[in-house]
Amino acid sequence: MKKILWSFFEVVETVVIAVAAVVLVRMFVMQPFVVSGASMEPTFYDGNYLLVDEVTYQFRSPERGEVIVFKYPGDHKSFYIKRIIGLPGEKIILKDGKISVFSGGGGEIALNESYLGKGVTNGSFNLELGENEYFVLGDNRNFSFDSRSWGSLSQEEIIGVVRLRLWPISGLDTFAPPNYEN
């Protein structure tokens, strides 16, 4: 009887440790996210299952080109996925379908956005980003509700950076920011 009780205790202990580990990882390290909508096509499609890294931004600031998940500034219960285009202190100008990014020193930063499908970026925009503010756009510019509509995104609203697509299996992939220098 004592041996059966001890075995039962070991099974319970293993289950408790496993559940605690999963909960801690999900709360503080990686979070699942399911894409809803077409705003990030052709990079991500509706129904893609992603893993979002919540730790990286505890050690460094977000970088241009990274795809992030964040709380929508107008309703913190809604979560969005977009790509960072403008960084704190930069000026963003959208005119005639072309996005121009100017650094604090005044130099223009060229964006080679090879991840975009065909078409141009609609709208007209001129915004200077403050400290801890970012300008984000969807990759499917004609069908994206983004910074062109609601302005800058505060760093506090960013949940994390997309690192991995798990679903569909045929689309399993890791993600890094594009190299805008080419």
Give me the active site residues, please.
39, 82
Handedness of CA 112, 116, 119, 124 (dihedral sign): negative
Residues contacting residue 27 through CB under 8 Å, at least 6 positions apart:
none
**What SS3 state is found at 68?**
strand
Alpha carbons within 13 A on the beta-carbon side of 128: 4
Neighbours of 41 (CB within 10 A): 18
Nearest by Cα to 102 from 78, 79, 127, 121: 127
Q: Are 57 and 162 in contact (CB under 8 A)?
A: no
How many CB atoms within 10 Å of residue 80?
23
Among 64, 72, 70, 68, residue whose Cα is nearest residue 101: 64
